[in-house]
Amino acid sequence: MPKPYDITTKYLIESRPQDWLRLLGLPLGEVEILDADLSTVIAEADKLIRVNAEQPYIAHLEMQASYKPDMADRFMVYNVLVGYRTGLPVNTSVFLLRPEADGAVMRQPIHKRFLAQEPYLQFHFRVVRLWQEPVEKYLEGGLASLPLAPLCYVHPSELPEIVRRMERRIEAESDDVGAIWTATYLLMGVRYEQSLIRTLLKGVRKMRESVTYQAILEEGEAIGEARGEARGEARGEARGEARGEMKMLLLWGSKRLGEPDANTLATLQSITQVEVLERLGIRLLEVESWGELLAAL
């Protein structure tokens, strides 16, 4: 099921795709972000980058925070579909955001065989386990992958210094400070408690000034209150989750499409189904206006 960080990671990949190619050590060249909706078979694919290197290829990137036994099969199907549609070789790389996303199917290539015969199909893909990655690689790498630094191989006691180093780079190099810090906040949420994240980021000047961050913070507090009031009841959890999805849709939508008008805002606020909000969030980076986004309803 898509989560708020899905929109965040797609934004980071789209904003600076070359950063990810360098991070993975893949050949460089002119790039083009491709439409990931190549088949209804796969509803939650992340990003595809066409790289016009000396030998053109497709870089397929996935970000995972949870584990499912069919994950590797899903990546294989998508790899094959993309290769068939584009006629290009496809390199699949999977970033695991936390240890809970790891499992048996992520540790070995896929081998499909009939009875005891030789394998008739093999699929290899790269797995990046962020909690095993050296943090310096991300602190000194591209800005697009910088928000992943706190998820690397670090002790919690090192996080304040990591945040300070991130702050120096972001303020010196980024022309979209709010988006980078918002991505950092959301990605840290897959590994760390909210209380720790707020403590670490409250000292960042640009975070204190960010309307986006303050809105997310307020929404997080509201969701927490809703869950507390519901005492774990499913209905209360669903209300809180829907409010969180709505806030993220409005925050990232306003950034990409501009502020919604009164009618658009009323339409959005009338949506209470989490799955509908998630679907709109996934489409957000693929449309050019609020009208186009809502036309899918």
Tell me, yes or no, whether 168 lies in a domain.
no
Tell me, yes or no, whether 225 lies in a domain.
yes
- pLDDT tens for 200-220 read 887 776 665 555 555 555 554
81, 99, 132 - which closes a domain: 132
Q: Do 20 and 116 share a structural domain?
A: yes
The rounded distance, in Å, linking the Cα atoms of 266 and 271 is: 9
Higher-confidence residue: 125 or 283?
125
Q: What confidence score (pLDDT) does residue 224 get?
A: 46
Q: How far is CA 296 from the centre of its chain?
A: 22
Higher-confidence residue: 233 or 103?
103
Whichever domain contains 113, its CATH number is 3.40.1350
Q: What confidence score (pLDDT) does residue 239 get?
A: 57
Is 60 exceeded by the pLDDT of residue 48? yes
Q: Which of 34-48, 60-74, 244-258 has the highest mean pLDDT?
A: 60-74
242: containing domain: 210-284
pLDDT band at 161 (very low <50, low <70, confident <90, very high): very high
109, 132, 155 - which closes a domain: 132
Mean pLDDT value across the chain: 82
The rounded distance, in Å, linking the Cα atoms of 276 and 79 is: 27
Tell me, yes or no, whether 194 lies in a domain.
no
Q: How much of the chain exceeds pLDDT 70, in percent?
A: 80
79, 97, 132 - which closes a domain: 132
Is 80 exceeded by the pLDDT of residue 136? yes
Q: What confidence score (pLDDT) does residue 174 get?
A: 84
Q: What confidence score (pLDDT) does residue 152 get?
A: 97
| CB-CB neighbours of 3 under 10 Å | 20
Tell me, yes or no, whether 137 lies in a domain.
no
Is 90 exceeded by the pLDDT of residue 276? no
Q: Identify the CA nearest to 186 among candidates 270, 115, 281, 266.
A: 281
The rounded distance, in Å, linking the Cα atoms of 296 and 147 is: 31
The pTM (predicted TM-score) of the whole model is: 0.74
Number of domains present in the structure of the chain: 2
Q: What does the pLDDT average to over 50-65?
A: 94
Are 29 and 57 a contacting pair, CB within 8 Å? no
Q: Identify the CA nearest to 89 among candidates 63, 60, 112, 62.
A: 60
